[in-house]
Amino acid sequence: MSGLPLWEVFVRARRGLSHTHVGSLHAADAQMALRNARDLYTRRSEGVSIWVVPAAEITASSPDEKEPFFDPAADKVYRHPTFYDIPAEVEQL
């Protein structure tokens, strides 16, 4: 939904495991994101831990990317972001 920020969802399915990325969703705020994540990605199983993180807050890198092909927003999660605020002077995006 336009205007609603994108959140990435990480779930730890069982005690002893670590959180893994399961997908994303849109929500107006962190509380709604958490509740939506619970309904969508866990159907409220017991003992599950959920993290929701605004996609825009994630800094990413890929080891086999070559320097000439980096673009200025290259540290974001998605290559083609329409939901980040890109500075106006950046043309290629």
Q: Which of 14, 17, 19, 39 binds other proteins (CB under 8 A)?
A: 39
Count of residues touching other proteins (by CB under 8 A): 34
Token pair recorded at residue 92: 């290629």
User: What is the C-alpha separation between 2 and 47, in angstroms, rounded?
Assistant: 33
Decide: is 57 part of the binding site for other proteins (CB under 8 A).
no
- Report the SS3 class of residue 77: coil
Decide: is 88 part of the binding site for other proteins (CB under 8 A).
no
The pair phi, psi for residue 5, each rounded to 5°, is: -65, 160
Q: Rounded to the nearest whole angstrom, what is the least distance from the CB of residue 79 to other proteins in the complex?
A: 5
User: What is the C-alpha separation between 8 and 63, in angstroms, rounded?
Assistant: 21
Contact residues toward other proteins (CB under 8 A) are 1-4, 6, 22-29, 31-32, 35-36, 39-40, 43-44, 60, 62, 65-66, 69, 74, 77-83
